[in-house]
Amino acid sequence: MRKRKRTALLVEPPSSATGDIAFNLIVFFLVCASVQPDSGVKQSIPSSETVEKESEEAKNIEVSLTRNTVAINGIPVAQKDFVLQLQRKLEGKTNPEDRVVVVKSKPDTPYFHWIAVTSAIEQAGGVVTLQMEEERTIQVPN
Amino acid sequence: MGDIAFNLLIFFVILARAEDDSHLQWVPAEAAELQSAGHAQVSVLVDTDNKLYLNGQEVGISQLSGSIEEKLGDAPSGERVVLVKVHRDTTAVRFEPIIEAVSQAGGDLVHIVEEKRP
C-alpha cells in the first residue's frame, strides 16, 4: 500500500520577497490613482480685445449676472426658463459671430452661478464672450 | 534590490507631489453635460482661501498668463488643455481675470466641475 504524501497547505512566502510585494502594490495603487479622469466643461472664450465695437455689441445678446439673478438684454429671467428663452433669441442665427452672447457679471457673482449660466448658454448654442469692466484712472483738473 | 526600488519610487512620488494640486482644499461647482478633460499639463486652482495656484504652486494673477504660456510652450492646439478648478463660492472679481489670463495664453479652457444630479 502506498503512503499518501502530506503536503503543507499554508506555506509562508520567503521574507526576502516582502520588498518586491510592497513595490508591486505601490505601483498598482499609483497606476489606479493616475488614471482617474477629470471631467468638466470645455469652454472656448475668444481672446480679449480692448477695441470697442459699439455696433457689433449692440446686436449681440447680452446676459447680465448678479449674485443670484440672471437677465437677458436687461430683462430678468428665471433660471429654469433661461435655456428656452435664449434658444428662442438665437433661432435663425447660423453664423458663429451672430451667436455670440456677451456675459457681464457683477463683481460679487459666485462661480457656481456663473458656471451654471455659461454652460446653459453653450447648451442653447451660444458662444460665450466675457465683458469685463476695466479700471480707469481719471485725473480731475484742479 | 526591492528595497532600493521601493525607496526610489517613494522619492519620485514625493517629487511629483510638489507639481500636484491634490493637497489643496476646494469645493467644485456643479454643471450638466460634462466631458472628459483628457490629459493636461497645466492646472490652475483657486482654493477655499481665495489663493491662486498654478500646478500646485502659489502665483499672483499678474504672472499667470506668462507662466501658462511658458508651460504650454509650442504645444499644438488640442494639447494646450488648461484645467481650471475654482472653489464654488469664489466671486467674479477673482475668477474672471483668471479665465482671461488662460485665454490670453492660448490655453484650451476646461472648467473642472461635478456632475449635476437631478
ipTM (interface predicted TM)? 0.84
pLDDT of A134 reads 60
Q: Which tens digit of pLDDT belongs to each residue from A10-60?
A: 777 777 777 778 878 887 887 776 555 577 888 877 665 555 554 555 578
Test A37 with B91 for CB contact under 8 angstroms.
no
Test B37 with A20 for CB contact under 8 angstroms.
no
Q: Which tens digit of pLDDT belongs to each residue from B19-64?
A: 678 778 999 998 887 887 777 889 999 999 999 999 988 999 999 9
Q: What is the mean pLDDT of residues A119-133?
A: 86
CA distance B43 to B104: 15
Smallest Cβ–Cβ distance between A41 and the set B10, B31, B38 belongs to B31
Percent of chain A scoring above 90 in pLDDT: 26
Q: What is the mean pLDDT of residues A133-140?
A: 53
Instruction: For chain B, give the mean pLDDT.
Output: 86
3-state secondary structure of B17: helix
- Residue A135: pLDDT over 60: no
- How close B21 gets to chain A, by Cα (Å)? 13
Where does the pLDDT of residue B2 fall: very low under 50, low under 70, confident under 90, or very high at 90 and above? Answer: low
Contact B109, A43 (CB under 8 A): yes
Test A45 with B99 for CB contact under 8 angstroms.
yes
Pairing of strands B57-58, B52-54: antiparallel
Pairing of strands B108-112, B81-86: parallel
More confident position, B75 or A111? A111
Percent of chain B scoring above 70 in pLDDT: 92
- How close A107 gets to chain B, by Cα (Å)? 5
Domain extents in chain A: 59-130
User: Residues of B32-53 as b/e, b for ≥16 C-beta within 10 angstroms?
Assistant: eebeebbebebbbbbbeeeebb
Smallest Cβ–Cβ distance between B37 and the set A39, A110, A115 belongs to A39
Structure pTM?
0.75
**Residue in B with minimal Cα distance to A18:** B2
Test B110 with A43 for CB contact under 8 angstroms.
yes
Partnered with residue B58 across adjacent β-strands are B53
CA distance B73 to A112: 31
pLDDT of A64 reads 93
Test B36 with A65 for CB contact under 8 angstroms.
no
**Residue in A with minimal Cα distance to B6:** A23
- How close A139 gets to chain B, by Cα (Å)? 24
- Residue A79: pLDDT over 80: yes
CA distance B73 to B76: 9
Neighboring chain A residues of B31 at a CB cutoff of 8 Å = 41, 115-116, 119
- How close B35 gets to chain A, by Cα (Å)? 5
CA distance A72 to A113: 15
Determine the residue type at A27: V
- Residue B3: pLDDT over 80: no
**Residue in B with minimal Cα distance to A66:** B92
CA distance A132 to A103: 9
CATH fold of the domain at A59-130: Nucleotidyltransferase; domain 5 (3.30.420)
pLDDT of A31 reads 72
**Listed range (A122-131, B19-28, B68-77) with the worst mean pLDDT:** B19-28
